């Protein structure tokens, strides 16, 4: 099924966008056999297996950026909330001290 999707994507690309470049990757024969088995089980060529794995890896980096942005926003809100809470507590303590001195 994965190979069919890839073929459909390739058919819709212009000639300038077709996969024409090669990337040599050195690995042991055992590694190659393992990856070839995984690709075969998924119905993919070895090349398509690595293209999809690379795309998934790139997408996960984008998710980490989004998660990082969300975390930064949450931390910013926490800092604002903490500052407000400290101010309210300082005011309450001042009122308590004033009441105790009366």
Residue range 69-88: mean pLDDT, rounded = 89
Angle, helix 46-101 to helix 29-41, in steps of 10 degrees? 90
Residue 39 three-state SS: helix
Cα separation, 60 vs 58, whole angstroms:
5
Q: According to the model, what pLDDT value does residue 89 have?
A: 95
Cβ neighbours of residue 86 closer than 8 Å, sequence gap 6 or more: none
Q: According to the model, what pLDDT value does residue 19 have?
A: 78
Four-residue CA torsion sign, 23, 29, 32, 36: positive
pLDDT(85) > 90:
yes
């Amino acid at each position: 099924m994965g190979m069919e999707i890839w073929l459909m994507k390739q058919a819709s690309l212009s000639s300038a966008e077709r996969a024409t470049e090669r990337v040599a990757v050195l690995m042991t024969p055992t590694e190659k056999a393992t990856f070839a088995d995984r690709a075969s089980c998924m119905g993919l060529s070895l090349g398509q297996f690595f293209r999809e794995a690379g795309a998934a890896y790139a997408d996960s980096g984008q998710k980490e950026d989004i998660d990082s942005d969300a975390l930064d926003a949450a931390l910013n809100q926490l800092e604002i909330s903490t500052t407000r809470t400290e101010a309210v507590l300082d005011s309450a303590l001042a009122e308590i001290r004033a009441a105790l001195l009366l």
